[in-house]
Amino acid sequence: MKMAIIGAGPGGLYAALAAVRKNIKVDLFEKRKVGEGIVCGECIFDSLGIMARPGRGLLHPVEGLVLKGSGEYRFPLGRHKPLWMLDRRVWQRDLSRQAQELGVRLHENARVTVSDLARMKKSYQWILDASGAPSVASRLYGFTREYIQECLAAHQVRLAGDFSPLVPCIRVVFFPDLPAENQPGYAWVFPRDAESANVGVVCTVRKEPGHGRPDMKKMLTDFLRREGLEGSPVLERGGGIAPVRMLSRLVYDNILLVGDAAGLTSALHGGGIDMACLSGVLAVQAVCEGQAGAARYAGALRRYSR
């Protein structure tokens, strides 16, 4: 069997590893270098209890959660499901190295266009689209708008500074004054180490861009000012959207959607790494059973996403 995987994020990399271990010939396409262009708090919340402890790229386990709403509350996490702070660039490059050593052919700086995808459908028996939201497949099949009907919008920075008082905990600050249609909305401070942290804001949006959506950059600027972080050096900056409900359809001809492309992000905490990894593995298992397996793929995912 010959398979193409679009996107070398967590879902695409887990899919590539699962596929090559089943002796499938895999071409993995990444529009940048592996590990570049990541917009993520880099905290893995293993809500399903299915992930192994990360190897390379693990910065530290998260031992506590500080929540601020009308008051501030601290929760130890030792007895609960694990959270890990990751250097996703290192982690994903290590997964990529493992995949290549097993025989996956990696194509970096290889953006797959709509016309490319149309041609690839004839060259590969199966294609897993893990290209994010909106996906390449959505542009080919015309369902891009499905991603923005209800999604999370986020903007974040990586800051340099003294975050030692918070390590090894993370901090989440809720925005109770946001309109109901934008809830949940909150900010996060996730220290990578004592000297840097990922800091961002996120809220729910149910409108198209330019139609009354919150100004995420302003929300972040205001939060940094309130937290006394406005003067901190900015090391990286980014933003994007993530759909918060699984798409109504995940299979288009011989293409299966994986990760954010399938709408597998938690509406509550905004995490999607665990479901992305799971969907990559389940997609490979599905196509190994042919069309019948592909038809059961969405049902298999729903059992985990309830």
Which of 126-130, 155-159, 180-184 shows the lowest mean pLDDT across its residues?
Answer: 180-184
pLDDT of 161 reads 98
Instruction: Give the pLDDT confidence score for residue 133 in this predicted structure.
Output: 94
pTM: 0.94
- What is the full DSSP assignment across 233-298? PEEEEEEEEEESS--S--EETTEEE-GGGGT---TTT---HHHHHHHHHHHHHHHTTHHHHHHHHH
Choice among 32-36, 76-80, 135-139, 141-145 with the minimum mean pLDDT: 76-80
* Predicted confidence (pLDDT) at residue 15 exceeds the cutoff of 70: yes
Between CA 214 and CA 153 the distance in angstroms is: 9
Q: Is the pLDDT of residue 81 over 80?
A: no
- Cis-peptide, bond into residue 168, ω within 30° of zero: yes
Domains of the chain (ranges; CATH) run: 2-61+86-143+246-305 (3.50.50.60), 151-242 (3.30.9.10)
- Angle 135-1-94 from CA coordinates, rounded to 5°: 60
In order of 64, 183, 216, the CA distances from 179 in angstroms are 29, 7, 14
The side-by-side arrangement of strands in the sheet containing 255-257 is: 105-107, 25-29, 2-6, 126-129, 255-257, 251-252
Quickly list DSSP for 75-96.
Answer: EE-TTSS-EEEE-HHHHHHHHH
CB distance 274 to 259 below 8 Å: no
Dist. CA 290–CA 187, nearest whole Å: 43
The pLDDT assigned to 208 comes to 63
Determine the average pLDDT of the residues in 118-138.
98
Q: For 288-301, how does the pLDDT look when each residue is reduced to its tens digit (9 = 90+)?
A: 999 999 999 999 99
Q: Contact, 246 vs 297, CB < 8 A?
A: no
**Which of 95-109, 119-133, 265-279, 283-297 is the least confident region?**
265-279
Provide mean pLDDT across the span 115-120: 98
Cis peptide before 54 (omega within 30 of 0): no
- pLDDT tens-place string over residues 175-233: 999 999 999 999 999 999 999 999 999 999 986 655 667 899 999 999 999 999 999 99
Q: How confident is the model at residue 93 (pLDDT cuts 50, 70, 90)?
A: very high
Residues 6+ apart with CB under 8 A from 280: 10, 11, 12, 13, 14, 15, 16, 18, 128, 130, 258, 259
- What is the pLDDT of the chain when averaged over all its residues? 94
Residue type, 50: I
CA 281 and chain centroid, separation: 15
Query: What single DSSP character describes residue 61?
Result: E
CB neighbours of residue 293 within 10 Å = 17
DSSP calls for 145-193:
GGGGSSEEEEEEEEEES--TTTTTEEEEEE-TTS-GGG-SEEEEEEEEE
Decide if 290 contacts 71 (C-beta within 8 A). no
Return the DSSP state at 23. T
pLDDT in tens, 29-76: 999 999 999 989 999 987 777 777 888 999 999 999 999 998 999 999
For residue 287, what are the CA distances in angstroms to 121, 142, 279?
Answer: 14, 23, 12
Residues 83, 62: contact at Cβ < 8 Å?
A: yes
